[in-house]
Amino acid sequence: MKYSIIIPYRNREAHLQVLLPTLLNKFSGEEFEIIISEQNDNDNFRIACVQNVAYNYAKGEILIFHQVDYVPSDNVSYEVHDVPVLPAHRGIFLNEDNESLRDINDIPAGYRMWSDEIDPNFYGGVICMTRTHFETINGFNPLYRGWGNEDEDLRERFKWANIPVHRNQTGTFYCLYHEDNGAIHNKPKDVQTDFVYWRKYFIERAYQERHIGYRQLTADVEESHTDIANVRWLKSTNYSVNV
């Protein structure tokens, strides 16, 4: 199998209903699987954990970690050759109707220029890599909780491993609407607290603990049946990290 498309997920059914058929159409004719990896509890979301969990079940040689609110246009390529790839060059923010453009003043300030070009240091959203790349950096650091920081950690892991990452110069994604995309000052207080704590961790300890990754993570995982060809659904909880 060539592609494993891993979608970290919790409580985003409306977004999944848009993304899933788009991906099924885009990869039609390819050897692929889509793994929806769901955190099956009410704790703050641990995206690194659900992505690491999915890797243990993935069969493809090329791994595409694909957040559920990023929908590719026709000019997006997910191809990987020698180095990991960030396939998004531009990001277009949409309103709740998934058609009209979101008012620029309603988009958090750090994202308003995405219609021209995404910040080259941004490693969230969608990233593609081979299994060898993933193994070399030991996947994602599973310690992070809540919103943010895990994508910066990923960026640095590639640097520390001397693995260059290529950003495509074409590739437009539509960013589906949800409240306060990326605006940390408007996030619930528990999410703000997590963000600040893990930002401090990222600055002070991430390099020293770069060995902590998917191999140190255990979880309870259940695979659910889906009626859609090439689509698998994992539900995980009780994450434990052996540091």
127-151 pLDDT, tens digit each: 999 999 999 999 999 999 988 899 9
Q: What percent of the chain has a predicted confidence (pLDDT) above 70?
A: 94
Does residue 108 or residue 214 have the better pLDDT? 214
Question: pTM for the complete prediction?
Answer: 0.94
Q: What are phi and psi of 165, to 5 degrees?
A: -125, 135
Which of left, alpha, beta for 138 (phi over 0: left; psi -120 to 50: alpha)? left
* pLDDT tens readout for residues 60-69: 999 999 999 9
Residue 45 near residue 39, CB atoms below 8 Å:
yes
* pLDDT tens readout for residues 189-233: 555 678 899 999 999 999 999 999 999 999 999 999 999 999 999
Domain boundaries, the chain: 3-70+124-165+183-237
Give the confidence band of 78 by pLDDT, cuts at 50, 70, 90.
Answer: very high
| CATH level 2 (architecture), domain 3-70+124-165+183-237 | Alpha-Beta Complex (3.90)
CA 201, CA 130: separation in Å to the nearest integer? 28
Average pLDDT value over all residues in the chain: 93
| First-to-last C-alpha distance (Å) of the chain | 33
pLDDT of 239 higher than 90: yes
> How many C-alpha atoms does 219 have within 13 Å on its Cβ side?
29
Q: What are phi and psi of 38, to 5 degrees?
A: -105, 135
Give the confidence band of 183 by pLDDT, cuts at 50, 70, 90.
Answer: very low
Q: Give the model's pLDDT for residue 70.
A: 98
